[in-house]
Amino acid sequence: MSQWLKRTWFVWLGLAAACAVLLPRAIDAGAAAGRPPAAAAVAPRFVVRDPAGTAIGWLNITYPRAIRENEEGVLEAEYTTGGASWKTGGAYGHGDVQPPAGLKVELSGADLTLTPGPSHAFDIQRIAATGVERVKWIITPKTEGDHMLLVRFNVSPATFKAVPISANGQAQGGDPQILLPVKVFTIYGVPKATVLVAKGAAGLASFLLTLPAAFVLFERVFGKKSKPRRRKAA
């Protein structure tokens, strides 16, 4: 066994070097190749009803269900009257509907940073003039994992109602809020711990492969016995 190691020690040393250099790169490439495709944006909705129960507008929300760590996602909220004509004066003509006094969206989510801010009050005058208003938020995740983004839509006065009619394809009932799931992946698309364990195993394998070469080199350096000195003849 010892003689065989002495003849092949350079092979083991080459394998150790190859493992140390190539295996981490292969792990990164394999993990990146297994990265899940970006989830398509979904559009939860609220419907706003006036005191008579008539639908006078809709809030459509578009957001990405999956975001990579260290990247950003965009949530867009669009309020539209759907063709209904609003007037902000005291007199309403034929086909016009009474607008609410206020429309406000509030966002909150643990480990999710929202820019420019967590809330936005819609401009009633602008909606009455154009029939639509859009606002965007930048979502920046702090950590990987599964997160929830709470969207609450407040309408005033209380005689007006904001009712969620769909969220990710499912009705949410009468509470004026929606919980939106947000999945945050690492750059590999798999948990970071999995990548670290794989790289640790690669490092251990590289170390073990250096042992045969280390054994041979140690024997060559320290295994030689010193020759006894000859005594001078008297």
The predicted pLDDT at position 59 comes to: 94
Place of tokens 């004026």: 176
For 42, other C-beta atoms within 10 Å of its C-beta total 16
pLDDT confidence of 168, banded at 50, 70, 90?
low
CATH superfamily of the 45-185 domain: Immunoglobulins (2.60.40.10)
Domain residue ranges in the chain: 2-34+190-221, 45-185
Mean pLDDT of the chain: 75
* Orientation angle between helical segments 192-222 and 2-33, nearest 10 degrees: 160
What are the pLDDT digits (tens) for 107-133? 998 889 999 999 999 998 888 888 899
Task: Check pLDDT > 70 for residue 147.
Answer: yes
What are the pLDDT digits (tens) for 53-71? 888 999 999 998 888 878 8
Task: Check pLDDT > 60 for residue 221.
Answer: yes
- Residues 6 or more apart whose CB falls under 8 angstroms from that of 217 comprise 9
Confidence (pTM): 0.64
What are the pLDDT digits (tens) for 86-100? 765 554 444 467 788
Task: Check pLDDT > 90 for residue 143.
Answer: no
